[in-house]
Amino acid sequence: MAGMLRVRRSQGALSGAFLMLLGLWGALIPFVGPYFHYAYYPTPDRVWAVTAGRMWLEVAPGAVTLASGAVMIISRFRLLVLLGAWLAALAGTWFAVGSLVAARWSTLPDAGKPAASGIARYLLEQLGFFTGLGVVIVFSAALAIGRLTVLGARDEEEDWDELGEPESEPRVLERAGVGRSIARIVPVPVFRGRQ
């Protein structure tokens, strides 16, 4: 059982690093986007302007995604890495649907409107700030969850046993058959888990 709860750091490292980059993008793009005319009203021309909408709809899920990716990279405990992946999936879901919920819910601050004038730029800003970013985060987290919920053959090959049991399998003597004078040694499968 103890071996099943451990995971290689490399197993969640790529997904964790990608989620960290996406979290950084999601948390920082509302503040640095106006440098490139890639912004949302009401503050499209103000760089590093903090609003309640930016904090709730962009910075908070970006920070959760960033922290989840860091947990996935650092931890070797399978359940903690899975918790990080699930939190990243929830943060991605909030990126994808949070602006829609905020537009309908009066107590949540609104993110504003894209500052673009053309349709293509408008879609690019909506996808880059919220919907597309959220979908990519959820997809990456789902890949990590799928990979972490399966115990691979490589994981079973390693000896994770902390008790230091011997690697050799127990053997029993098999009766000598007709015409044989020596008993044959046969390996016997043994359950090595805790009961």
Q: What is the mean pLDDT of residues 137-159?
A: 78
Strand-strand pairing, 184-187 and 171-174? antiparallel
3-state secondary structure of 162: coil
Q: What is residue 40's DSSP assignment?
A: B
> What's the token pair of residue 57?
């709809």
Q: What is residue 171's DSSP assignment?
A: E
pLDDT above 90 covers a percentage of the chain that reads: 32
pLDDT of residue 166: 47
Q: What is the mean pLDDT of residues 184-189?
A: 57
- Using an 8 Å Cβ cutoff, are 192 and 161 in contact? yes
Q: What is the mean pLDDT of residues 143-160?
A: 70
d(CA 86, CA 53): 24
d(CA 95, CA 57): 7
Check whether 108 has a pLDDT greater than 60.
Answer: yes
- Using an 8 Å Cβ cutoff, are 20 and 73 in contact? yes
Q: What is the mean pLDDT of residues 145-160?
A: 67
Beta bridge partner(s), residue 114: 40
> What's the token pair of residue 64?
């959760």
- Residue 81 belongs to what H/E stretch? helix 78-104
Check whether 184 has a pLDDT greater than 80.
Answer: no
- pTM value? 0.73
> What's the token pair of residue 181?
């004078």
pLDDT band at 19 (very low <50, low <70, confident <90, very high): very high
Beta bridge partner(s), residue 186: 172
pLDDT of residue 163: 47
d(CA 185, CA 189): 13
Q: Which of these ranges, 6-20, 38-52, 94-108, 109-123, has the smallest mean pLDDT?
A: 38-52
Q: 65-88 pLDDT, tens per residue?
A: 999 999 999 888 888 989 999 999
Tell me: cis bond preceding 61? Omega within 30 of 0 counts.
no
CB atoms within 10 A of CB 101: 11
172 vs 120: which has the higher pLDDT = 120
> What's the token pair of residue 108?
């949540």
Q: Long-range contacts: 169-176, Cβ < 8 Å, 24+?
A: none
Domain boundaries, the chain: 2-157
Q: 22-60 pLDDT, tens per residue?
A: 999 999 998 888 888 888 877 666 788 888 888 999 999
